[in-house]
């Protein structure tokens, strides 16, 4: 058992090392990054549409949770005028981005890993390379950029849906007046709060994009290119993405004193 | 058109597979067929020539390659699969070149069709069109007839093996001895990563150890078939 545990820890350590190398390569390439724009837009469109139902359902569910938790404090401290502020903080900066980050890892990240792993296992990356094209800017980076773009595109609508559902549920269940909630948001929520949430979301997108792309492309260098190897790559990508989102959230919360 | 010159080629593949030294010198218009048992290093040889595996190969010829799995992007149409290659290689009028290539392999009606909606033979033709559309200086074919019926095999070979001095040097890996070897100018037999024969197909039958690679059909049969 100890051997298996050691091997698992070794593999994850190797993954994290490779991930850091990928991030370094991406940063170095940043200034001269020639990403295929058409492919990036196509991937963004596909990933966004694909993940839309999951984010919609999850936002509605989280909106309900935010309302019930907020109402609990409103009742305890008779502070109905800060309900809107607390819900907005939760939706746009804290719980909302974390939910979106996890959703991004589960839906967008897993899909990206699976696609790249299949491409690697079925010679499609080699086919691109054989044409004298570097697969990174042509195939991999567009998916990374698309993941980050999706994280940004989803942030405002999904978090606003969370807040709207929270307000509606609070008004139906807890007699929290809708006008008071909206007034609370307008009075207490600053642009910096929204910016913090957006930055958090972008970082989650980068983490999920790097982890999922790395896990998919890693199949190309593997001895094993079977269906099992593709499944393991998707699993590794999801674990790396989720762990990365949670760790990034923890670090940002410690730095910003929130979360 | 230039010749492929790769003398004493050594390459390393996955799983510790090693190849070489192998002499792969192919003239323009010449077809070199590579045969051998599974795991003998045939695909590694192609990967090395295409620059996909670590090797001593140092040619600067532009490559067109047809993979055994066709290796098409299932999310894009047949046309888009070919056009991406022509655009990336900066072929003049890339979209027109892609269209022409697909029409030339008989897929003029399937430009907008997704690869997953095509049969195995048609997918292979799209892969051939992609390889030829970029006007390669070296054509590499990895078992292009695997899994195809005899009629489709002949159609695919007729499309994939250009002839004449203006044709690029062509290296084709195959297990289909009867259909492919008769079309070879020379045959290279690999065994456990080593070159054990290089010469005309007609000489294979005289080597008892290599007789299994000698086609049961002659070159004349193949050419007669074309008529």
Candidates A36, A131, A134, A226: best to mutate against B (most CBs of B within 10 A) is A131
d(CA B134, CA A53): 41
Q: How many domains does chain B have?
A: 2
Are both B170 and B218 inside the same structural domain?
Answer: yes
Q: Does the residue A22 lie in any domain?
A: no
**Is A138 part of the contact surface with chain B (CB cutoff 8 Å)?**
yes
Chain B residue numbers with beta carbons less than 8 Å from the beta carbon of A126 are: 47, 50, 52, 67, 71
**Nearest alpha-carbon partner for B34 in B216, B176, B172:** B172
Residue ending a domain, among B100, B120, B135, is B135
Residue ranges of A 209-248 with Cβ closer than 8 A to chain B? 223
Are both B163 and B103 inside the same structural domain?
Answer: no
Residue ranges of B 187-226 with Cβ closer than 8 A to chain A? none
Give, as one character, the DSSP assignment of residue B2. Answer: P
Q: Hunting for tokens 């067929």 — which residue is that?
A: B33
Helix A141-173 with A110-121: angle, nearest 10 deg = 160
Q: Hunting for tokens 């963004």 — which residue is that?
A: A44
Q: Closest to B52 (Cβ–Cβ): which among A46, A130, A138? A: A130
Q: Where are the alpha helices (DSSP H) in chain B?
A: 42-49, 78-88, 94-104, 120-133, 150-160, 177-180, 219-226
**Nearest alpha-carbon partner for A154 in A193, A98, A192:** A98
- Contact yes or no for A223 and B65 at CB 8 A: no
Q: Which domain holds residue B87?
A: 74-135
| CB neighbour class for A42 (10 Å; exposed up to 12, middle 13-18, buried from 19) | middle
Are both B89 and B181 inside the same structural domain?
Answer: no
Give, as one character, the DSSP assignment of residue B3. Answer: P
d(CA B185, CA B29): 9
Q: Does the residue A115 lie in any domain?
A: yes
pLDDT < 50 positions in chain A: 259
Nearest-Cα distance to chain B for A107, in Å, is: 18
Q: Which domain holds residue A100?
A: 34-257
Are both B95 and B206 inside the same structural domain?
Answer: no
CA angle B205, B207, B210 (to 5 degrees): 80
Q: Does the residue A4 lie in any domain?
A: no
Q: Does the residue A28 lie in any domain?
A: no
Question: What CATH number does the domain containing B145 carry?
Answer: 3.40.50.300
Are both B152 and B220 inside the same structural domain?
Answer: yes
Residue ending a domain, among B111, B135, B159, is B135
Are both B46 and B158 inside the same structural domain?
Answer: yes
Q: Does the residue A7 lie in any domain?
A: no
- Quote the longest CA-to-CA distance of chain B: 52
**Is B134 part of the contact surface with chain A (CB cutoff 8 Å)?**
yes
Are both B150 and B119 inside the same structural domain?
Answer: no
- Which phi and psi (to 5°) does residue B99 adopt? -65, -45
- Residue B227: predicted pLDDT: 40
Q: Is the dihedral of CA B202, B206, B210, B214 positive or negative?
A: positive
**Nearest alpha-carbon partner for A258 in A250, A225, A223:** A250
Here the contacts of A69-72 (C-beta below 8 Å, separation 24 or greater) are A70/A166, A70/A170, A70/A176, A71/A170, A71/A173, A71/A174, A71/A176
Strand-pairing partners, residue B194, are B191
Cβ contacts from A onto B, under 8 A: 45
Q: Does the residue B157 lie in any domain?
A: yes
Q: Does the residue B69 lie in any domain?
A: no
d(CA A17, CA A49): 32
- Residue B204: predicted pLDDT: 79
Q: Hunting for tokens 């292979």 — which residue is that?
A: B124
Are both B8 and B78 inside the same structural domain?
Answer: no
d(CA A107, CA A117): 15
Report how far apart, in Å, the C-alpha atoms of A27 and of each of A30, A32, A116, A213 are.
Answer: 5, 10, 21, 15
Q: Does the residue B90 lie in any domain?
A: yes
Q: Does the residue B67 lie in any domain?
A: no
Q: Does the residue B128 lie in any domain?
A: yes
Here the contacts of A71-74 (C-beta below 8 Å, separation 24 or greater) are A71/A170, A71/A173, A71/A174, A71/A176, A74/A170, A74/A174, A74/A176
**Nearest alpha-carbon partner for A206 in A30, A23, A44, A21:** A23
**Is B52 part of the contact surface with chain A (CB cutoff 8 Å)?**
yes
Q: Does the residue B115 lie in any domain?
A: yes
Tens of pLDDT along chain B (227 residues) come to 788 888 888 888 877 788 878 888 888 889 999 998 888 888 899 999 988 888 888 888 889 999 888 888 888 899 999 998 898 888 999 999 999 999 988 888 999 999 999 988 889 889 999 998 998 999 999 988 887 888 888 888 888 887 777 889 999 999 888 888 888 889 999 988 888 888 888 887 777 777 787 777 655 555 544 44
Are both B115 and B143 inside the same structural domain?
Answer: no
ipTM over 0.85? The verdict is no
Q: How many domains does chain A have?
A: 1
Are both B130 and B141 inside the same structural domain?
Answer: no
**Nearest alpha-carbon partner for B156 in B171, B141, B139, B166:** B141
Q: Is B79 helix (H, G, I), strand (E, B) or coil?
A: helix
d(CA A48, CA A55): 10
**Is A131 part of the contact surface with chain B (CB cutoff 8 Å)?**
yes
Chain A residue numbers with beta carbons less than 8 Å from the beta carbon of B73 are: 119, 124
Q: Where are the alpha helices (DSSP H) in chain A?
A: 2-29, 37-77, 83-88, 95-103, 110-121, 124-130, 135, 141-173, 178-188, 191-217, 227-256
Q: Does the residue B201 lie in any domain?
A: yes
Are both B115 and B159 inside the same structural domain?
Answer: no
Q: Does the residue A214 lie in any domain?
A: yes
Give, as one character, the DSSP assignment of residue A4. Answer: H
Query: Cα-atom radius of gyration of chain A, to the nearest Å?
Result: 21
Chain B residue numbers with beta carbons less than 8 Å from the beta carbon of A138 are: 88
- Contact yes or no for A124 and B65 at CB 8 A: no
Pairing of strands B4-12, B186-191: unpaired
Give, as one character, the DSSP assignment of residue B141. Answer: E
Residue ending a domain, among B114, B135, B156, is B135
How many Cβ atoms from other residues are within 10 Å of residue B70's Cβ? Answer: 23
Are both B41 and B142 inside the same structural domain?
Answer: yes
Q: Does the residue A14 lie in any domain?
A: no
Q: Does the residue A124 lie in any domain?
A: yes
Could you tell me the pTM of the whole model? 0.76
Token code pair at residue B138:
């070296």
How many Cβ atoms from other residues are within 10 Å of residue A174's Cβ? Answer: 16
């Amino acid at each position: 058992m100890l051997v298996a545990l050691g091997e698992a820890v070794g593999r994850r350590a190797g993954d994290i090392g490779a991930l850091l190398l990928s991030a370094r390569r991406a940063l170095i390439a940043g200034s001269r990054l020639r990403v295929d724009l058409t492919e990036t837009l196509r991937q963004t469109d596909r990933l966004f549409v694909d993940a839309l139902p999951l984010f919609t359902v999850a936002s509605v569910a989280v909106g309900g949770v935010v309302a019930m938790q907020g109402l609990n404090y409103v009742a305890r401290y008779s502070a109905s005028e800060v309900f809107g502020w607390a819900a907005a903080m939760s939706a746009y900066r804290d719980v909302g981005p974390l939910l979106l980050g996890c959703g991004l890892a589960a839906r967008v990240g897993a899909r990206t890993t699976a696609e790249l792993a299949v491409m690697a296992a079925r010679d499609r990356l080699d086919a691109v390379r054989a044409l004298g094209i570097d697969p990174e800017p042509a195939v991999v980076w567009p998916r990374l950029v698309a993941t980050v773009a999706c994280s940004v595109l989803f942030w405002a609508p999904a978090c606003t849906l969370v807040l709207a559902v929270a307000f509606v549920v609070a008004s139906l269940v807890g007699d929290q007046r809708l006008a008071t909630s909206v007034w609370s948001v307008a009075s207490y929520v600053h642009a910096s709060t929204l910016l913090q949430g957006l930055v958090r979301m972008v970082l989650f997108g980068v983490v999920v994009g790097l982890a999922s792309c790395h896990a998919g492309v890693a199949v190309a260098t593997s001895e094993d290119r079977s269906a099992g190897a593709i499944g393991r790559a998707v699993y590794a990508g999801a674990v790396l993405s989720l762990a990365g989102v949670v760790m990034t959230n923890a670090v940002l919360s410690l730095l910003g004193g929130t979360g | 058109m230039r010749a492929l010159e790769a003398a004493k080629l050594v390459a390393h593949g996955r799983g510790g597979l090693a190849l070489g030294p192998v002499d792969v010198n192919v003239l323009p218009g010449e077809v070199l067929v590579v045969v051998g048992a599974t795991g003998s290093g045939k695909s590694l040889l192609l990967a090395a020539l295409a620059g996909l595996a670590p090797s001593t190969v140092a040619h600067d010829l532009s490559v067109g390659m047809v993979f055994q799995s066709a290796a098409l992007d299932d999310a894009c149409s047949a046309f888009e699969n070919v056009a991406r290659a022509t655009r990336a290689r900066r072929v003049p009028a890339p979209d027109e070149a892609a269209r022409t290539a697909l029409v030339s392999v008989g897929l003029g009606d399937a430009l907008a069709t997704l690869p997953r909606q095509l049969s195995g033979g048609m997918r292979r033709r799209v892969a051939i069109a992609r390889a030829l559309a970029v006007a390669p200086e070296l054509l590499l074919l990895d078992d292009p007839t695997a899994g195809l019926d005899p009629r489709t095999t002949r159609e695919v070979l007729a499309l994939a093996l250009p002839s004449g001095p203006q044709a690029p040097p062509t290296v084709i890996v195959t297990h289909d001895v009867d259909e492919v070897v008769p079309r070879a100018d020379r045959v290279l037999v690999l065994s456990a990563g080593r070159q054990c024969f290089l010469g005309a197909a007609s000489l294979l039958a005289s080597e008892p150890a290599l007789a299994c690679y000698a086609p049961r059909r002659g070159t004349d049969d193949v050419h007669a078939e074309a008529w």
